[in-house]
Structure 1
Amino acid sequence: MKFKIYQTKEPNSKEAIAAIGWCNNEEIYSCSDDHQLYKWTTTNRNLIQVAKLPDDFSPSDLHWLLPKGAVVTGSGGSGGKGSDTLLICSADGRFIILNKSARVERNVTAHNGTIVSGRWSPDGSGLLTAGEDGIIKIWSRSGMLRSTVVQHEGQIRCARWSPNASAILYCQGPFVAVKPLAANSKLTKWRAHEGLVLCIAWSNNTDTIASGGEDCRYKIWDSQGANLYTSVSDDYAITSLDFSPDGELLAVGGFNMLKLCHYSGWSHSINRFNQEVIGSLFNLTWSSDGTQVTAGTSTGIIIFGHIIERELRNRNLKALTSGRKTILLQDIVARTTDTLDFSERIIKWELGYGHLVVATTMQVHIFNENYINTPIIIDGRTDIKIIILGKKNFILVDNTSLWIYTYTGRLHLNPRFPASQSQIPHLNRHCISLGLDTLAIRDHSDQSIIHVFDLLPGASRQEDAYTIHNKSHLVEVAVCHAGNPDDQYLVFIDVNRDLFITCVQGGPDFVIHKIGTQLCTVMWSSDSNILVGLHDSCYSVWYCPGEACTDPTLIALTTLTFDTAEFGKNIALENFEGTNVTLRSSGAIFTISVKTYCVILHKLFVENAWERALKLCRLVQNQILWATLAAMASKRNQLDISKEAFSACLQIDKVNYLSYIKDLQPSGAEQMAENSIMNGRIQEAEVILLSNNKVSEAISFCLRMHRWSRALDIAQKNKTSLETVLQERKKYLLALGREEHDPNFLKLQ
């Protein structure tokens, strides 16, 4: 992946480009000390003079505000629809607000000295200005002063909003600081570079901060100031940087240098302009679609760049962008290559499940690997920012809504949830997951809530989604992609980096189980319900997370953990297909394998081929294989197979318990209830007994589980075994040496 660079043939200004920004995906506005406001088009790089600024107004920064309904993305870009309000700051401490016809609506004196940064807030309700006088102010959209949030003696070089506008990031000398806007909140400040910090950026989706300085390095930080990456020293100072709107890429600019990096810091490619001196790059900004960048230089030249050679791989297919409107699709096995030309610029594209889905500026093209020459075209879909492929459907996310399509081009669902339209712009790949027949979306306003949609035709949850409530905020959700329709599982990671799992068919009362700790990210296999997760210095594979989650012993038996020291740092999960897991570390790709027999075993489970599964385990004689079989067979009431599997795993207590269950009446209520207890489904066991008029057995079950209040309720409601409940409660308290505290039992004393 790299930038293809264009530049203006001759500088339109003898001075440095002081300010530059995207109006939309095709138009760029710039201004310099010649007091002229210019508009450039990216297609032919033509120059149009838009307005003349006052002679005493020397511009220092520029930023567009989007119309209502769109969002500002990235630290300097703007949305695909045309912008209508322009903020320009000056070197004498003033800022002006221009409307779309270039008429000055407000002219405000804000600082004593140059305004180094002026930025509209992400929601467009206000703006910030930061000056060389060491002051940062927040203003209303009409230019009225709201507050002064930072006031120091030192000079401020740059300032940016946080993605949710709850804090302000700024740099001062060698320090970077985060100032929350909440009352009585503490300032977070750390020494970032050896010399002056010249530029900063805050990523929308990954919540990471980038800084560049005079020490010729750029660094990546988390929001608390912990260093995540430090680059090698370049020849010259880093003068500008910016995260792409989706947070996946970072563009870094310096003297005669433009670098394309991964958000974690490592470099994809570097462009050096050694044949002619163009100077240092300033005000480096991305377009809202994340495919183009622009920057002004110290010599008055404007740099344009778009991404090419972005590559995706899936099984036997490899897709590579060779230009703005061209994709090369290769079949590695058949050794064939197809060139796909589009009439419009390519914005987003994804490859998987035998299909290539490409979003251009006005259309979406669906290619089947068997019918490459006859794509299905969906018209009218613009501003696509996320494409997620599933086995049956795929998701398109634009600035206003989510759209679920089948691979035949038919609109399947337009899911909505409370306040969904205002939350769509904040969605990213970590908070949306598409499964076999399930869609899970993490709520943005309350990040402890997950909305679960059923995608089966005619399902009630297509319009009225279930909600899962967690105790803490969530950072990632993932739905499995394979298995039977009744065995669909959702995993999620919270802010404490704990991993939880629940069955998506278990609504509205979802039972949540914790199966892991210290997880950075997780990924389901595309072919089986096997889960892989990354920790800080190792990775884990859960071979049966769904069925084994109710028993910590089974989770331990069906999970393997391996060290990742040999792969290096900054590891990311790329793909998980079949038995191969693809990892990427600092640009290098590594492939690891999960146990092949476990993948085969999962396929046999889907086919209900229990005898073949048992023969496979007897042949291989592997403990993880036996434990996986035990968990699966136990859930599906295959008592004989489950007993043999637990015996092979040396789980003697479970073997004895299964022997007790087998002695009960076959397929009777008591046997079904005991099997539910063994699988951790306590409420289900009680319902089975009560629905079959087994009241005394239900009371005994509640006493055995120490569910005292429930046992008392059943006894009082059915007017039976009340004395037994009171006696057992008395024995329990006597054994613990405690006094009665339950008010329901105290009444009966």
Structure 2
Amino acid sequence: MKLKTRICKKNSLKTLDATEESQEASGNYPLSCVDWSSNEEIYFVSDDHQIYKWSDVSRDSVEVAKLPDDFIPTDLHWLLLGGRSSGGGKGSDTLLICSNDGRFIILNKSARVERSIAAHTAPISAGRWSPDGAGLLTAAEDGVIKIWSRSGMLRSTVVQSDEPIRCARWSPNSTAIAFSQGGHISIKPLAANSKLIRWRAHDGLVLSLSWSAQSNIIASGGEDFRFKIWDAQGASLYSSAAEEYAITSVAFNPEKDLLLVGTFNMLKLCHSTGWCYNSERFTAPSVGSFHTLAWSADGTQVACGTATGQLIMGYAVEQQLYSRNLKASSTSRKSIALQDIANGSRDVLEFPQRVINFALGYGHLVVATTHQLHIYNEKYINTPIIIDGRNDVRVIEVGKKHFMVLDATSIWVYSYTGRLHLNPRYPGSQAQLPLLNWRSLSLGLDVLAIRDNSETTLLHLFDLIPGASRQYEPQSLRAKQPLAEIAACRAGSADDQFVAFIDSNRELYISETRNLNGGSANNGHNEIYKIGTQLTAIKWASETNILVGVHDSCYSIWYCPGEGASDPTIIALTTVTLDTAEFGKHVDIDSFEDAVITFRCAGALLPVNINIYCEVLHRTLQEGQGQWQQALKICRLAQHTSLWATLAAVATRKHQLQISEEAYSAALQIDKVSYLQHLKTLTPSSPEQMAENSLMLGRMLEAETILLHNQKFQQAVGLALRMHNWKRALEIAQKHETAEPGLDLLQRVLEQRRKYLKALARDEWEPLYLSYAVKDESPSE
């Protein structure tokens, strides 16, 4: 990937006086106020008091309005109505401009001043609308940060200090503000009684800040010639080598993991983890330092203002995607080259509109332009299917049967024939659209998982099977901690669908999206299991239910993460952890197709093979019930513990007790072999055997439900007692005491409780049992 730039033509429509002519001759006024009002229009203003609009259509600029002569602008920001994309695509109508005398003004689309407010006693260094559009902040050299309503009414003063504030930025969720003073960076949460986080960031002044909406990380540039990346708690994630000059501007891309860095006569396009894609130098003509960088709302273009007054526009080209034998590369703003590496063919696809996004996988290329979707099949590359009306597409994810699109108006799931399959809605979904990104969405084989951004511990699951009720009424899965990244499995059968997620503590959990009895994710049968810690990224295999995850200094492969999740022993046997020291730092997962994992580190692609026998075993088990003998042959041939454990877990889930017993025996799990032999003594398909099988799978609530539903109350009480769930055992005994004459369930529970207390040599402490203990003692008294 590389950045391609061009210097935009600026027409001055006013007559220059003598002083201005001399400035024009030596280079224009420094351009430090630039922003996009839509994906096609740039507004900019400098010390000449003129507001100009540059259009990508006409490639020319026109004067929009003139500011008062005593108003010297220091910052400019458009309010994007409805969020980053919808406002940016359709155009916005509220402009904020700050000045060096402590004032800020709010203008409407027709350039009429709505409000002019004296906010500070010193120059305003930063004025920014909040991402949710509810208000704005102003930060000034008087050391004060204030928050205002959209109409310009003062809401609060959040920071008061004696040290000048150089720059300030909102957090992506509008709940905190990051700002710089001298060489320090501070984060001020807006919640009541929250503490200020402050750390030493640079040896010199911090000149610029940017807070990523994609990764929730902060970039800073300073006078020490370095740019650095921090997490939201101030921990250092990356520090660049020293450049030749000070870093005057940094800006994260709103939709992609990109960071643009500006210094004297140079722009650097970097990944959000810090490593550099390419550098663009400007020597003829010299443009000076880059004072401001502003990405367009769709994340495809950037506008730059320089010290010499030049307006420079850039866009990324040569973005490359790989999928098996196919390679797609963007060659220009309106063309993509699709190459088949197997037969050497190469096709250049031209589009009438600018390409915003594209995705490659499962033999299909999906390209989003400004108003259309183009679907290409690798076998019929000359006859694409075109869908109109999709504007500002931010995320495209391809799956085996469908592909998912997130645009300015909604989430859409299409088949590869262009038919709309699902338009998911849930409470508050429209208001949350601007905050959704690729980490909060995941398309699986038969399920679409969406994280709720207003309640980040909640996951909405939409069924993609035709006619399923969950297409319209999603089921919910609730985690204990906020979710950072989710991933639905992309293969398997309709009964073997799982969703994995990383929470805010970087712990990995997994759960079923449905169960074998037709239950849903919120009926209590689907439990959430922890299978890993300290994860930074995860990805499912394209054709099998194998999961890979990256830690800080290693990566793990879970060969049976779904079926074995309930048993820590099985997870330990089927998980392989390998060192990534030879890869370097900041390792990410680029793709996981078939048996090859491709890692990306500092721009390099590093393919790694997984155990091919496990890949073949999973594919064999997916082919149907008749493949058990073939699966046994694979395990006997490879003689690897992880294969036997995988086969055992899957066979137990499918009630193949004979296969499961042999597999557990080969994996040296003697306790499970003994338990399976006990299962075989029970009547086949009886409630007792089904409950015991559910218990072996870790589904205790399901086992109890089976027994109670079949009126096996004595067995249900016995199950609760075996699990030492004394409270539940007493509840069942009390409720069903008279259900079966001759069975004194309550007496059995109390007798077992007395034996338990006697073994512990303790008196009763459980409130539910205290009353029965008193009754037993009263006759003797």
Distance 2:271 2:11 in 1: 31
Equivalent pair of 2:371/2:391 in contact (CA under 8 Å): yes
Distance 1:697 1:172 in 2: 68
Distance 1:574 1:118 in 2: 37
Q: Which runs of 5+ in 1 are unaligned?
A: none
How far off is 1:743 after superposition? Answer: 4.3
- For 1:68-467, what aligned pairs fall within 5 Å after superposition? 70-72=82-84, 79-467=88-476
Equivalent pair of 1:696/1:721 in contact (CA under 8 Å): no
1:280–1:632 CA distance, 2 compared to 1 (3 A): same
How far off is 1:693 after superposition? Answer: 4.2
Distance 2:147 2:699 in 1: 54
Q: Secondary structure at the match of 1:548?
A: coil
Distance 2:100 2:684 in 1: 86
Equivalent pair of 2:139/2:168 in contact (CA under 8 Å): yes
Letter in 2 for 1:3: L
Q: Secondary structure at the match of 1:205?
A: coil
How far off is 1:744 after superposition? Answer: 4.1
How far off is 1:695 after superposition? Answer: 3.4
Equivalent pair of 1:22/1:78 in contact (CA under 8 Å): no
Partner of 1:2: 2
Q: Secondary structure at the match of 1:223?
A: coil
Structure 1 residue runs of 4 or more that deviate by more than 4 Å after TM superposition:
9-13
Between 671-680 and 212-221, the greater mean CA deviation after superposition: 671-680
1:18–1:678 CA distance, 2 compared to 1 (3 A): closer
Between 138-147 and 374-383, the greater mean CA deviation after superposition: 138-147
Distance 2:223 2:768 in 1: 71
Distance 1:144 1:498 in 2: 43
Equivalent pair of 2:11/2:61 in contact (CA under 8 Å): no
Partner of 1:39: 53
Between 652-661 and 365-374, the greater mean CA deviation after superposition: 652-661
1:116–1:710 CA distance, 2 compared to 1 (3 A): closer
Distance 1:472 1:9 in 2: 51
Distance 2:205 2:383 in 1: 56
Equivalent pair of 2:9/2:61 in contact (CA under 8 Å): no
How far off is 1:715 after superposition? Answer: 3.5
Partner of 1:520: 536
Partner of 2:778: none
How far off is 1:707 after superposition? Answer: 2.9
Q: Which runs of 5+ in 2 are unaligned?
A: 13-23, 516-520, 776-781
Of residues 551, 560, 563 in structure 2, which corresponds to 1:544?
560
Partner of 1:660: 678
Distance 1:434 1:21 in 2: 34
Distance 2:193 2:733 in 1: 54
Distance 1:222 1:568 in 2: 20
Letter in 2 for 1:601: L
Residues 1:732 and 2:750 aligned together: no
Partner of 2:618: 602
Residues 1:640 and 2:658 aligned together: yes
Distance 2:200 2:188 in 1: 15
How far off is 1:44 after superposition? Answer: 4.4
Letter in 2 for 1:556: A
Distance 1:243 1:178 in 2: 18
Distance 1:692 1:101 in 2: 73
Identity across aligned pairs (percent)?
58
Distance 1:336 1:432 in 2: 34
TM-score (norm 2): 0.93
Q: Secondary structure at the match of 2:180?
A: strand
How far off is 1:205 after superposition? Answer: 1.9
How far off is 1:435 after superposition? Answer: 0.6
Distance 1:11 1:48 in 2: 7
Q: Secondary structure at the match of 2:260?
A: strand
- For 1:629-708, what aligned pairs fall within 5 Å after superposition? 629-708=647-726
Distance 2:71 2:715 in 1: 86
Distance 2:277 2:206 in 1: 24
1:150–1:602 CA distance, 2 compared to 1 (3 A): same
Distance 1:543 1:434 in 2: 21
How far off is 1:709 after superposition? Answer: 3.4
Distance 1:426 1:33 in 2: 35
How far off is 1:280 after superposition? Answer: 0.9
How far off is 1:636 after superposition? Answer: 1.3
Partner of 2:744: 721
Residues 1:470 and 2:475 aligned together: no
How far off is 1:365 after superposition? Answer: 0.7
Equivalent pair of 2:644/2:667 in contact (CA under 8 Å): yes
How far off is 1:61 after superposition? Answer: 1.1
Q: Aligned-residue CA RMSD in angstroms?
A: 1.6
Distance 2:656 2:224 in 1: 66
How far off is 1:65 after superposition? Answer: 1.3
Between 130-139 and 423-432, the greater mean CA deviation after superposition: 130-139
The C-alpha deviation readout for 1:86-127, integer Å capped at 9, x for no partner, is: 111112222111111111111112222321111111122221
Equivalent pair of 1:489/1:503 in contact (CA under 8 Å): yes
Partner of 2:16: none
The C-alpha deviation readout for 1:493-522, integer Å capped at 9, x for no partner, is: 111111111111042222111111111121
Distance 1:653 1:693 in 2: 29
Letter in 2 for 1:20: V
Partner of 2:15: none
1:184–1:622 CA distance, 2 compared to 1 (3 A): same
Q: Secondary structure at the match of 1:699?
A: helix
Letter in 2 for 1:251: L
The C-alpha deviation readout for 1:700-719, integer Å capped at 9, x for no partner, is: 23322223333334434124
TM-score (norm 1): 0.97
Equivalent pair of 1:558/1:624 in contact (CA under 8 Å): yes
Q: Secondary structure at the match of 1:675?
A: helix
Equivalent pair of 1:203/1:247 in contact (CA under 8 Å): no
Letter in 2 for 1:88: I
Of residues 50, 64, 71 in structure 2, which corresponds to 1:50?
64
Of residues 596, 617, 637 in structure 2, which corresponds to 1:619?
637
Q: Secondary structure at the match of 2:659?
A: helix
Distance 2:713 2:8 in 1: 85
Q: Secondary structure at the match of 2:382?
A: strand
1:652–1:323 CA distance, 2 compared to 1 (3 A): same
Equivalent pair of 1:204/1:247 in contact (CA under 8 Å): no
The C-alpha deviation readout for 1:528-563, integer Å capped at 9, x for no partner, is: 000011111111110001111111111100111011
Letter in 1 for 2:383: T
